[in-house]
Structure formats: structure tokens, C-alpha cells
Amino acid sequence: MADEVEIKLATADDAARVLAFLRQAATESDAVTVPHLAQVTVDQEKQNIDLINQFDDCVIMLAMLGEEILGIVTVMVLESQPTAGELGVVVAKKYWRNGIGCLLVEEAEYWFDNYSSLESLVLTVFTTNTPAIKLYQRCHFVQTGTTTEEGRPALVMEYRPTK
């Protein structure tokens, strides 16, 4: 077992573990909202990961401790804004408040700043998710609006790095 958390790009070989991780995380937090998660097969997830890895405007990275997934960060292009990527972060509950979320967000920001073709990095976060809001604020996200997600109030935030 490794004693350090590593960040790695997800590959098709990770598909089964990614699905298991996301399904478990969805039982631990009502902030995990992945559409149709229960219906996604391992083969479909393999195809999804392979597709994501073909583009420079999408990414999926895993925080790993040995073979265990501790967290996932994704950036996916918004259909309504093809130059904007939406950040998504999920951390296993037993690792909350241990810096994993911050590590994942910072890695996504580095990818965005150095490798992506996107013009902006945005996210939505439920207004009740105060720890996540504080994390995003520490990581240079600012509130740009409000919205409703799944019938619940949420903040719209955008990455605004300090120069």
C-alpha cells in the first residue's frame, strides 16, 4: 500500500473502480449528482473514459492511495457554453477534510491553465455545501450567480486565478 496520495489520469482500466467509487459516494452525500449512474455499465464507462482522454478540453483524474480511489475530479465542456469547462469533484466520505478535494481542484486548475483549450472553468455547488464553497473560494473560484440544481439552490462559481 502506498503511503502517498497520487493523482493520475483515469484510463479505461479504471472504469470498474470509478463506477464503484461513484456509486458509493452517491450513498454518502446528496451533493453527488451523476445522471443515470445506476444504469452505466463498465463497458460504457470504459468508452466514456477513452472518449474523454481523446480531447484537450475534458479531463478525468483520480486521487489514489495505492489501488484505492479517494477522489475524482472531472472537467467537461458545457453544452450551452462550448468554451467553458464544468468542474466536478467527488471525495470519499472517509477522506473528507483531509486536503484531497483541494489537491484535486488544484490539479484541475493546473491542467486548465497549462493544457486545456477552454476559456473558462466553472462549477455549481449547492448552497448548503458550505465546506465545498469554502474550498472553491480558497482555490480562486468566485461566485458569478445563482441557479437551481435538482430543485435546490446552488451557487455558480468561476475560476479566477490571481496573476
Residues 67-107 pLDDT 10s? 999 999 999 999 888 899 999 999 999 999 899 999 999 99
Which of 1-15, 30-44, 76-90 comes out lowest in average pLDDT?
A: 30-44
Q: Is the pLDDT of residue 28 over 90?
A: no
Tens of pLDDT, residues 102-137 = 999 999 999 999 999 999 999 999 999 999 999 999
Task: Return the beta strands (E) in 40-92 as ranges.
Answer: 59-65, 68-78, 81-91
Please tell me the pTM assigned to this model. Answer: 0.90
- CA dist 11 → 16, 20, 53 (Å): 11, 15, 8
40 contacts 22 by C-beta, under 8 angstroms: no
pLDDT attached to residue 1: 41
pLDDT attached to residue 35: 62
70 contacts 94 by C-beta, under 8 angstroms: no
| Nearest C-alpha neighbor of 123 from the set 132, 110, 131 | 132
49 contacts 14 by C-beta, under 8 angstroms: yes
pLDDT attached to residue 163: 64
Tell which wins on pLDDT, 49 or 35: 49
Distance CA 12, CA 9 (A): 10
